[in-house]
Structure 1
Amino acid sequence: MTNKSVGRFPDPHDFKVPKELEGWEDMYPPQRLFSQDRAEWEKRHFWFQDKIHAPEPLYPLDDIFQEAWQIALSQYTTRVFCIPPAQGIAQRIVGCYMYITPVEPPPPEVIGKKAELFGKRVPYVFQNYNKLWEHWYDRFQELGKEMEALKIPSEFDEFVPEHEVMPIPKGYTQAQDLIESFNTIISLIFKAWQFHFQYLNLAYLAYLMFVDTARKLFPGIKESTIGKMVAGADVSMFRPEEELCRLSRLAMSQSPVSKVLKKDVSAAEKIKELQGSEPGRMWLEEMERIKNPWFYVSCGSGWYHYEGSWVTKMDVPFSYLKSYVERLEKGEKIERSLTSISEERDRIVAEYRALIKSDDDRKSFDDAFNVVRSIYRYAEDHLFWVEHWLHTIWFRRIRDFGNLLAKYNVLKQPDDIYLFNRFEVPMLLEDLATSWALGVGAPTRGKYWQEKAAKREKILEAARNWHAVPALGVPPTEVSEPFTVMLWGITTETVSEWLKGADVKGAGELNELKGFASSAGIAEGPARVLKLLEDIVKIQPGEILVAPCTNPSWAPVFTKIKGAVTDIGGLTSHAAIVSREYGLPAVTGTGVATSTIKTGDIVRLDGSTGIVTIVKRAK
């Protein structure tokens, strides 16, 4: 139900994008766009920009992750674990940006059917999660190995080799391998995202159930206090940063190594110098040993091909290593204090548990707490293995296709393959395979594909320079879909803040923002607004991080900053989780922080109330 009394955002069916974006619709499949034939249904929903998964304009092939999660997230809610009354999350693209909406609840009779299945299926997962996680992990590793093993030719043979003809002809050629491999990798990435959401909805549901239990037993308890009760997790997503800390301490035990790591030169130069000494070679051997999987972590979110990973952009982890070594020399602690965070968690849980008077209430609390402590870590465990480890493999294999297309001048650059969506790339591959099969001198439509790619690159550049509106349509009366609240942090109050930000003449007129009280504590300091991935290296000790959302690969900077503020994200967003794990104050889901706060502004954030105040504007 929409809430017309609180104002509205532009109608998605009448909304006009800048003329520089003309032709953007052709980049995406028709089902990804708003349409007149679905207008009645679309107008009943409130659409907000997904700054967690798609904060930047979407390259057509990068959009495949979004397509995959729309199906995966939604089906586990609606068809598998049947969470009543929630439905799925729908997506639409406008001007190269993605907008999403929680689908309206189903009829009462469907909710009743779902409730029966929910009661059978969900408790089973909660009771058997540890065993189920092991099974999930093994299957996902196999999927990654299958993607690694795909046959993608680096070039076409002039003639099929003899062993493929005699004594028994193989029956097909590299051309078929090429086409089959692309079809397979598409299938694998969709399947990977099916695995991604296998238990994620339930992990968030377990958190919601624990929050509900805590609120009933302890009226007035703060969200930040509840967050502390589930902090202190040993999960895969923090392992890359832990390995960097370990490598830094190892370097400190070998003076020649630490001296090299502190130099202001490229990672390649440091590696070359380290290879020249025995301590350096030993240190490099240790780094190589843990590279796969722990350097298979995106330099950003894992959603965009141009972000790269530590393993492909070694300057990134080496910049963190340099900072760690310098801090160790000053006697600073570089690791997150897991022990103190866990002790604080146990203390708070014990204090509140002691307030419970009845055995039944105590059992309700214990059951909810044990479930959330067990399955909640899936939120950060799966994150590493899917968005980082597997996506690193995906990007490398897709580049193999791009290299082949560029080698034969179908495309100018390998990464131009991302300017075509998953339905279009097979046309490019078929064009190349046909040209090879026809024989010497048979042309491809390379000129056509290259002109299309160049036009689309210009459209995406224009989209980057466009400040897209945060939402479309009429805000809802109430937001209850669990993912919307817990992950994106979208509530009726959040939307009101967005409207407030949209109504003022300039962002500079807002001096106070409200968001989720995601991690307790108060911090004040100069703001560092991060809108571009490469700006992460500019963060200075003691600053307040302000970003659309935070990326998991930023974990190493969380030991430098005082606190974090985000545009989007709820109590289970990465910014919220990682801030609690590092004991930092955080306010998430403010809606307009990056457009209101400027780098150098002195800001004060209260992670217990969710209020961010601009104390003094930078000159």
Structure 2
Amino acid sequence: MSGQTDASGAYFVGTKPSDRFPIWTRANVGEVFPDPVKMSTFDFAFQNDEGIRMSELAFRDAYVQMGAFTYDEFDPDECVFLGVFGGYTYLNAAVGRIFGARAPGIDVETVDRNFFGEQPGIPPYESHPDDASPEAEQRIGETFLFLFTAPALPEVHEDERNIAEIRAQRPDFAQMGNHQIADWMMHFLESGYVDGAGFRELFARHLKVSFLAAVPLGALEQVCIALGRPEDTLKLVAGYGDVASAAPSDAMWQLGRQVAASTTLGELFDSGPAGLAERLSAAAAEDAGGDAAAFSEAFAQFLYDFGSRGPNEWEISCPSWETDPDIALAAIDRMRLAPADVDPGRRRAELAAQREALGAEISAVLAGDPDTQMQFDLARGAAAVYLPGRERTKTNCVRYVNETRIGSRVLGRRLVESGLFASETDFAMLRFSEMHEMMDDPADWSDVIAQRQAVWDDANARQEPFVIVGDPPPMSQWPLRGANELPQLTAGEVLAGLPGCPGIARGRARVVLDSSDPTALGSGDVLVAPLTDPSWTPLFVSASAVVVDVGAALSHSVIVSRELGLPCVISATGATGRIPDGALVEVNGDTGVITVLEA
């Protein structure tokens, strides 16, 4: 592991490639860590001088709990599931493929399709002598048996209640000393929850539920393909109404309706999102019984309930809606301009009715084949438990991480005021152990932070490889973003991706690269994004369709599009560069083809 910048210009932290598991991908993990990882996050999540850390350990826990591996199959000293190369986080595709090779009833192709999508440069699967394991196959089979019969995930709901209690009992960081806050942050991430559990346990639960969610989805897909109705697969898992990452959209919709109905609020929002939170607060103070006061009260509850969400929400140094309310208000601004007929609750109810009717129809068609009918009905039930459960476990992790973010901001502001930090998020360029050294003896630490920030800026300006096989190329050889501009499509040309959610829609393409600045996106536009995480969810509500550069069947863009009934195309490589902003396009979620109608 590299701990400092070296003369070659390498990133200041990183992991070693794996000889046994040599294929790495940005698919899926790019939604979690779209930017280069910073020192403090690497320190607690990936690896430090003491060895592998929380996120890597959680991956191992999850795969062992599912029965796919034993701990002795993994390198005890180096990361296997997660890699950091040139600052960017990669997921090990080779390990996931072994799960597909060992699991009864699924295969490597199913794992690739559900988790990694279309990936130029990823080599075909080649079996290794150690891939096959009858013992693992039996263990996984037992896990699947439980999966198809579990009526609920009580441990996930218990986590949710515990984290709600943690939020209610948040420490008064203002009364804590600087060293005390730094110690609290690290302890909380490791073991600050119930009975010694912490982020590792929460994340392992998320990973396990996420991987198992693919199993009933795959079973439904097999039945639909056999019936010649592959487009019905995602209709069978739409409109659950219990998808945690989509829940903020419902709350934002109601807030948007408040704004749309008020002249006072409309004028405040018309001035733009920058500084809007302060303007709303001032207006509420001036008229305690007015619309601004009512909105401010409702918005405060929204931030309490959903404030942990935001762009790049797993990275502690990045803002959340709680730390930067203007980001959430910018999304609400898009909501207030949307027509009433895109109400996400109403659309979800329509999809739920369609799902139930379609499920009953297909089950009746299968009545002459009782075994297949039973498999289909069990898969429907399991999907209703595990697909919403996947998003709920992720939300539990994100809410947990946000508590550390809030403490870090208090510490950061103090260190800015004392002249030790230039920014309240400078802590991210330090290991947790270095924070104490810096506060005790601040000499030269500002130079260290500046040097690391310069390396981070360089990495952030570069286009990372999407797939790495074997040793990664040196970071210095990665091209700068935009250095090789893609030719834009003209009228009549098409871009092919993968079907994400069925349906066909037309609209003006709006290329949005940052979820915190959605002001260009209008009602009925087609959202074209590099990828999406839950901070993008509110932007889906007024869109007519969604197109993303990367994605897979269980990626965020598909999950939310499915809940809102939006046509969606994933793995449309280069979409944000090739589709002209403002062009009239047709998005076919059944075929995965985007057609430019007018450039």
TM-superposed CA distance for 1:97, in Å, is 1.9
**Which runs of no fewer than 5 residues in structure 1 stay unpaired?**
1-18, 157-174, 436-443, 476-501
Within a 5 Å distance, the mapping from 1:198-597 to structure 2 comes to 198=205, 200-216=207-223, 218-219=225-226, 221=228, 223-235=230-242, 236-250=244-258, 256-257=264-265, 260-261=268-269, 264=272, 266-275=276-285, 276-280=287-291, 281-298=293-310, 300-305=311-316, 307-327=318-338, 332-336=341-345, 337-356=347-366, 357-387=368-398, 389-420=399-430, 424-432=431-439, 435=440, 444=441, 446-473=442-469, 507-508=486-487, 512-597=494-579
Query: For 1:51 and 1:293, how far apart are their aligned partners in 2?
Result: 26
Query: For 1:470 and 1:395, how far apart are their aligned partners in 2?
Result: 29
Output one character per residue of 1:28-53: Cα deviation in whole Å (capped at 9) or x when no partner. 1xxx3336xx5x446x4354464222
Give the secondary-structure state (helix, strand or coil) at the position aligned to 1:103. Answer: helix
Taking a change above 3 Å as real, the CA distance of residues 92 and 332 of structure 1, as seen in their structure-2 partners, is same
Query: For 1:566 and 1:48, how far apart are their aligned partners in 2?
Result: 14
Question: What CA RMSD, in Å, does the superposition of the two structures yield over aligned residues?
Answer: 3.6
- Give the TM-score normalised by the residue count of structure 1: 0.75
- Highest CA radius of gyration, 1 or 2? 1
**Which runs of no fewer than 5 residues in structure 2 stay unpaired?**
47-53, 75-79, 99-127, 472-480
| Equivalent residue for 1:96, pick from 71, 87, 91 | 87
Opposite residue 71 of structure 1, the aligned amino acid is L
- Give the TM-score normalised by the residue count of structure 2: 0.77
Query: For 1:325 and 1:534, how far apart are their aligned partners in 2?
Result: 16
TM-superposed CA distance for 1:455, in Å, is 1.4
TM-superposed CA distance for 1:114, in Å, is 2.2
Query: For 2:338 and 2:495, how far apart are their aligned partners in 1?
Result: 33
TM-superposed CA distance for 1:332, in Å, is 4.8
Give the fraction of aligned pairs with identical amino acids, expressed as a percent: 17
TM-superposed CA distance for 1:153, in Å, is 5.9
| Equivalent residue for 1:118, pick from 117, 140, 143 | 140
Give the secondary-structure state (helix, strand or coil) at the position aligned to 1:538. Answer: coil
Query: For 1:365 and 1:410, how far apart are their aligned partners in 2?
Result: 61
TM-superposed CA distance for 1:314, in Å, is 2.2
Give the secondary-structure state (helix, strand or coil) at the position aligned to 1:197. Answer: helix
Q: Contact 1:140–1:192 at 8 Å: present in 2 too?
A: no
TM-superposed CA distance for 1:81, in Å, is 1.5
**1:187 equivalent in structure 2:** 190
Opposite residue 117 of structure 1, the aligned amino acid is R
Taking a change above 3 Å as real, the CA distance of residues 91 and 24 of structure 1, as seen in their structure-2 partners, is same
TM-superposed CA distance for 1:151, in Å, is 6.3
**Which stretch shifts more, 463-472 or 59-68?**
59-68
**1:135 equivalent in structure 2:** 158
Output one character per residue of 1:420-477: Cα deviation in whole Å (capped at 9) or x when no partner. 2xxx331231453xx4xxxxxxxx2x242111111122222222222223222379xx
Query: For 1:325 and 1:506, how far apart are their aligned partners in 2?
Result: 35
Q: Contact 2:205–2:393 at 8 Å: present in 1 too?
A: no
Give the secondary-structure state (helix, strand or coil) at the position aligned to 1:376. Answer: helix
Query: For 1:65 and 1:518, how far apart are their aligned partners in 2?
Result: 34
Opposite residue 469 of structure 1, the aligned amino acid is P
**1:478 equivalent in structure 2:** none
Give the secondary-structure state (helix, strand or coil) at the position aligned to 2:444. Answer: helix
Q: Contact 2:531–2:551 at 8 Å: present in 1 too?
A: yes
**1:171 equivalent in structure 2:** none
Query: For 1:406 and 1:154, how far apart are their aligned partners in 2?
Result: 17
Does 2:41 correspond to 1:59? no
Q: How many residues align?
A: 525
Taking a change above 3 Å as real, the CA distance of residues 368 and 47 of structure 1, as seen in their structure-2 partners, is closer
TM-superposed CA distance for 1:58, in Å, is 2.2
Give the secondary-structure state (helix, strand or coil) at the position aligned to 2:39. Answer: coil
Q: Contact 1:402–1:417 at 8 Å: present in 2 too?
A: yes
Give the secondary-structure state (helix, strand or coil) at the position aligned to 1:360. Answer: helix
Q: Contact 1:541–1:561 at 8 Å: present in 2 too?
A: yes
